[in-house]
Amino acid sequence: MSTDSDGGWNSGPPTDGETFADGDSTTEHVGFLERLWQSLVGILIGFGLIAATIWGIFWNEGRAIGTTRALNEGAGVTVSVPAARVDPANEGKLVHTSGNLSGGQLADNEFQIRSQAVRLVRKVEMYQWKEERRTENRSNAGGSQTRTTTYTYERTWSNQPISSQNFRQRDGHQNPAMPITGRTETASGAMLGAFRADSRVIGLFGSSSERRLDVTQAQLGVFQSRFSGRAQLNDGGIYVGSDPGNPQIGDLRITYSILPEGLASIVARQNGDGFGPYTASNGREVFLGATGARTAQELYQGAHETNRIITWVLRGVMLFAVWLGFFLILRPFVVLADVIPIFGSAMAAGAGLVSVALALLVFLPTIAIAWFWHRPVMSIALIVAGFAGAYGFRMLGERRRAAKAGAPAGGGQAMGHQPAYAGHPSQGGQDYQPPGYQGGYPQQGQPQQAYAAQPAYDPNAYPPQPPQGYPQGGYGQPTYPPQQPAPQGGGFLNVPPGLRPGQGG
């Protein structure tokens, strides 16, 4: 293995959130057999990762369903009570109340910072070195690989001390000890209306409910005394260093925030004159809180939304873990194909796609089984509803196809076969249909009457008799259609004198 180093220094004034870096790199040659052995070990890791993720999926779905059940159960038994009075009759019940959250005089005695609040937070950040590493692999003919690891040293603000003892390149990247750290003070006598609000209750109100507390010029002297005159006011906080626009390693930023007094709401179990978590029938706890006047429904909606977000984030993490497990299992094929680098790249891409398919093949059924395990009744109902819906769509489709197949050309309605009128003598005994008569139905625009239900016309009767239902209009002159004048013109209504029915001519 060979190592190449390259150091450098990037100067210039950083702004908040930016980093400046220098570093070195190492180059390592890994043989084909070593890579193959590492990939074979990766198979065991892959199977272990998949097994652990399957368990994690069951756990996550059970956690989500259990939390939902507990919240639904709690919403059904929650009792809204006034915060101004503690009612012993509600002892042990799940109660909701909104009232004034009051604290007390809190202080950071080290720097004489005081405020009337429920919580006082001191945040300390130090400008430090941070080591980052990035590895790039280059495949060689024959299956070996060249790995280049680049170590980058960034200067960044951090509220946690970063040890430089394990840095690969410690020279020039030493972090001093952090002289002070952050701390939190909580009001011991906090009250929510007439109820005590202990640290667990105050913990329900997160950092998003806090507001910044500015340090004044009168309070600056304590910091200057503590840091040998290097402290100065900067953007409402304290900066310990020469120039806030050009920070150096070891410079400090100190800021304060408070959870102010004011309206707050809570859903919890009433314990004496205080609150505690409510345990649902499935063992899950219900313990909700938010600043401001919130209804019980709003608190439960927020808890449901948080539960959904956590569930989907964990699902995404577990899907990636399953994919990684399958990719590790397929990794030996990539190493074998990498004897010819171009084939190795193609195999790696193919292994990635196959791993996606296998991950989904395992992930989705596992979630379904987990749901069936934790909620069998609902799962069976969903399966039945799915099959019923599929069957209904299938029957609807078949009916539509049958209707289309039975419709006549031109888009008309399908008509059943009706017997035609027998031929008139003047027509030589041939079948004859009076004007407006088509297969037992009037023409379009004529009254829709079923002629098939009436007796057929008898051409051998003399004088000819009109079908039943037609009024006599003289010899052979029925009014057709019923209740309307007889059609004008020729046809069987005008029989020449001397011609008997059934005779042609």
Following DSSP, what letter does each residue of 394-419 receive, concatenated?
A: HHHHHHHHHHHHHSPTTSPPP----P
pLDDT tier, 413 (very low <50, low <70, confident <90, very high otherwise): very low
| Average pLDDT score over residue span 124-143 | 86
* 456, part of any domain: yes
The pLDDT, as a whole number, for residue 408 is: 57
The pLDDT, as a whole number, for residue 383 is: 65
Pairing of strands 94-102, 191-192: antiparallel
Q: Is the pLDDT of residue 218 over 80?
A: yes
Q: Is the pLDDT of residue 3 over 60?
A: no
The span from the CA of 314 to the CA of 67, in Å, is: 15
Q: What type of residue sits at position 327?
A: F
Q: Is the pLDDT of residue 1 over 50?
A: no
**Whole-Å CA distances, 161 to 126, 133, 178, 205, 334:** 8, 19, 6, 27, 41
Pairing of strands 94-102, 79-80: parallel
* 301, part of any domain: no
* 432, part of any domain: yes
Average the pLDDT over each of 254-263, 280-289, 290-299, 333-342 and give the range with the smallest value: 333-342
Q: Is the pLDDT of residue 498 over 90?
A: no
* 469, part of any domain: yes
Comparison of pLDDT for 424 and 106, the residue scoring more: 106
pLDDT tier, 23 (very low <50, low <70, confident <90, very high otherwise): low
Q: What are phi and psi of 194, to 5 degrees?
A: -90, 0
The pLDDT, as a whole number, for residue 345 is: 84
pLDDT in tens, 306-356: 999 999 999 999 999 999 999 999 989 988 888 888 888 888 899 999 999
Comparison of pLDDT for 16 and 104, the residue scoring more: 104
The pLDDT, as a whole number, for residue 2 is: 38
DSSP helix/strand/coil, 366: helix
Highest mean predicted confidence (pLDDT) among 156-170, 253-267, 418-432 = 253-267
Q: Is the pLDDT of residue 495 over 50?
A: no
* 108, part of any domain: no
pLDDT in tens, 64-85: 999 999 999 999 999 999 999 9
Other Cβ atoms closer than 10 A to 454: 14
Helix H or strand E encompassing 371: helix 341-374
* 441, part of any domain: yes
pTM over 0.85: no
pLDDT tier, 455 (very low <50, low <70, confident <90, very high otherwise): low
* 312, part of any domain: no
Directed axis angle between helix 296-337 and helix 32-77, to 10°? 170
Total domain count for the chain? Answer: 1
* 254, part of any domain: no
Comparing CA positions, the residue from 258, 4, 2 lying closest to residue 108 is 258
DSSP helix/strand/coil, 241: coil
Comparison of pLDDT for 179 and 469, the residue scoring more: 179
Comparing CA positions, the residue from 161, 128, 134, 140 lying closest to residue 20 is 128
pLDDT tier, 139 (very low <50, low <70, confident <90, very high otherwise): confident
35 token code pair: 């890579």
The pLDDT, as a whole number, for residue 401 is: 81
**Whole-Å CA distances, 18 to 21, 125, 155, 156, 253:** 10, 14, 9, 7, 15
Q: Give the range of the structural domain holding residue 459, as residue numbers without chain letter.
A: 422-489
Q: Is the pLDDT of residue 11 over 90?
A: no
pLDDT tier, 398 (very low <50, low <70, confident <90, very high otherwise): confident
pLDDT tier, 380 (very low <50, low <70, confident <90, very high otherwise): confident
Sign (positive/negative) of CA torsion 62, 63, 66, 69? negative
